[in-house]
């Protein structure tokens, strides 16, 4: 049986689809309720990706990809 998780962003109660390191999510500017892992719903994951797009591009350039 799979445990259903809810989104850890303040004032959001949707079902989570992704989990990331909470410090990484907080660095993007999203407010996370304290845990080691941040569980994000589809909408907040999309927002996280938009906010970190530039950082991810720079990281890929470092590795030559």
Q: Where are the domains of the chain?
A: 18-63
Q: Is the pLDDT of residue 25 over 80?
A: yes
pTM for the predicted model, two decimal places: 0.82
Cα separation values, 39 from 26, 27, 32, 48, 63, Å: 12, 15, 9, 12, 28
32-53 pLDDT tens trace:
887 789 999 999 999 999 999 9
Cα–Cα distance measured from residue 40 to residue 12, given in angstroms and rounded to the nearest whole number: 9
- Check: CB of residue 35 under 8 Å from CB of residue 19: no
| pLDDT given at position 53 | 94
| pLDDT given at position 65 | 60
Average pLDDT over the chain, rounded to an integer: 89
| pLDDT given at position 10 | 87
């Amino acid at each position: 049986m799979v445990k259903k998780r809810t989104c850890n962003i303040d004032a959001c109660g949707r079902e989570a689809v992704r989990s990331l390191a909470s410090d990484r999510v907080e660095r993007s500017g999203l407010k996370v309720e304290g845990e080691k892992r941040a569980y994000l719903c589809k909408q907040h994951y999309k927002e996280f990706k938009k906010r970190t797009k530039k950082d991810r591009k720079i990281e890929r350039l470092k590795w030559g990809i």
